[in-house]
A and B are shown apart, each in its own frame.
Chain A
């Protein structure tokens, strides 16, 4: 960490901030501030260089053309890959998740190179769009409670040997491969299809990112009354028959 504050980088809000995933940035900021941490939030537009000294990089979902433009500009810039080489944390959602993989199918129907930060390859699904509440168990090695989120995508993401599934779904589609996996992670890089935004429904994931950044095992407790109430409601909604 540079100086004493947590550096949170919001990548390309001009292209990848269409589905409320900005909430993930607000969650990390809020949860850190509640622990008395200073937070320096940096919003980086796609005509600006990605700083390499950030602690946590957040990437959201976007529409198909902006996704293609974002991947092109991130590869040209190179900053995000350098940041990860330095140990930075990346948490990315939906279109952002596909971009940080090895390859995805863009709005022109072409296979396009991603950043290669995760060993995943995405294609466009033939089936109907996956839309709705999701309930899943997060990889037990992360020590996190059940994942609740809202999915809204047509992508299918296949995991290679270097990536672990972030979660396994009970309800919903997740990666869309039919094997029950949802999202992927490796070391400090995470990808998911979950909106909601996902950190608002799963604040302990935000805490996990902060702990990774601080290299600590625990954070002071917070009053999570409303988060808990929302989680219970959405978990019940996901399990209820449609």
Chain B
């Protein structure tokens, strides 16, 4: 299973070399890590390259709307208990970025790969994964017209007939619908705070009933499967009923859920829960997320929230009032250009916090907060917002490009 037993074909070797050269040029031109452009050049030279670079690896794919980057990190840490891991740790999660990341791991035993939701089915076909972890599906970037249920449908078609073990969230009806086309599923009760994308039965369109943590469709019988793993407070319950403590440096319920899923994945590769969970403690910030940065004598915690489900989970982990909160929203290409989703976020939960609003779309946020009936101030820059807060901790929540802007401002 391990090691680089089958060498790459000459064509694939050429493709990897050409890809590295392109990446080096891209880096030299100051365009980031170059991993995506390297992978694109390589894939054009050899379209089978992704399959070939994955050939010698035991591959785990991780996909979701939220939490896939963090979960990829957690699983990678856990599997390092058993051998070398190669991973697209920087979140380049489309085929080119994945190819580039895997091509860098010729001696690795495991490939732990975050995959964009839209590419999961294709990548799963190419790399013959041993395991696929599915966390959640919810509305994201509405202007791209990728309907959430259609994504679930595409997952479902792509996963039927898969030999991989699917580790899937039993609490997300869309994920269950997608995964249940596979014969080999390990269900994890990982929770899902956000419910507004799954009131309608994915199988028949009936209205889902949701008493307590359970859910079912009264019309067709589609229902929550019995989980074998579960998140329970600060513990992961394994299939034998043993409870293993979660000790993460990452905050929030959602990351505990990610840890529970990661423990189930690790167990599928023979890493015991205790070892897996202990190793996850070493994960701190993930691509700057959750980092606490000292800036202008304040400690600013950087929190990324890209869509309504993400904002909901983020509100549940921030410090209680009177901790000040900076909110920043952009609507550039990578964010989705429609800001209507702000109205699906319950900002009244921020009542009591001093709120500072910045970002390209600060006026959309201002109207949103005005209607939510919470007090806020609008600033032209993050620096001005920080200066308006008292010394101490500030929670800064931003969507994708706003988060990158914020990292630059605070020097992270």
Contact = CB atoms under 8 A, between A and B. Distances in A.
Interface of A: 13-15, 17-23, 26-27, 30, 45-47, 63-66, 69, 129, 131-132, 150, 152, 154, 195-197, 200, 226-227, 229-230, 233
Contacts of A26: 343, 371-372
Contacts of A27: 371
B207 A45 contact: yes
Residue from A154, A200, A233 whose CB has the most chain B CB atoms within 10 Å: A200
Contacts of A154: 145
Contacts of A18: 139, 142, 197
Closest 4 A/B residue pairs (Cβ): A20-B340, A23-B343, A14-B199, A20-B343
A14 B200 contact: yes
Nearest to B308: A20
A226 B370 contact: yes
Given A14-B207, A129-B145, A233 B340 contact: no
Q: Is the interface of B mostly helix, strand, loop or mixed?
A: helix
Interface string B361-383: 00110111011110000000000
6 contacts: A30-B371, A46-B200, A197-B340, A200-B343, A200-B368, A233-B363
B271 interface: no
Contact of B200 (A22, A69, A132, A196): A69
B148 interface: yes
Given A23-B342, A229-B363, A230-B364, 14 more contacts: A14-B200, A19-B340, A19-B341, A21-B340, A30-B371, A63-B147, A65-B205, A66-B200, A131-B337, A132-B337, A150-B339, A150-B340, A195-B338, A197-B340
A52 to B, nearest CB: 21
B196 A17 contact: yes
Contact of B363 (A20, A69, A230): A230
Contacts of A30: 371, 373
Interface size class of B (residues with CB under 8 A): 20 to 34
B344 A20 contact: yes
B393 to A, nearest CB: 28
A230 B150 CA distance: 33
Q: Is the interface of A mostly helix, strand, loop or mixed?
A: mixed
B387 to A, nearest CB: 22
Contacts of A227: 367, 370
Contact of B371 (A23, A131, A132): A23
Nearest to A29: B371
Given A15-B200, A19-B142, A63-B147, A46 B207 contact: yes
A13 B199 CA distance: 9
Interface in B104-125: none
Nearest to A232: B363
Given A23-B340, A65-B149, A230-B363, A152 B370 contact: no
Contacts of B150: 63
Nearest to B142: A19
Contact of A195 (B148, B197, B199, B340): B340
B143 interface: yes
Nearest to A27: B371
Interface in B254-271: none
A69 B340 contact: no
Contacts of A15: 199-200
A45 B368 contact: no
Contacts of A131: 143, 337-338
Nearest to B376: A226
A200 B365 CA distance: 11
Nearest to B341: A20
B143 A152 contact: yes
Contacts of A129: 145
A22 B368 contact: no
A233 B366 CA distance: 13
Interface string B125-167: 0000000000000010011010111100000000000000000
B302 to A, nearest CB: 25
A107 B225 CA distance: 29
Contact of B207 (A47, A64, A230): A47
Contacts of B207: 14, 45-47
A119 B373 CA distance: 38
Contacts of A197: 340, 343
B392 to A, nearest CB: 28
Nearest to B344: A20
Residue from A19, A20, A196, A229 whose CB has the most chain B CB atoms within 10 Å: A20
Nearest to A24: B343
B371 A200 contact: yes
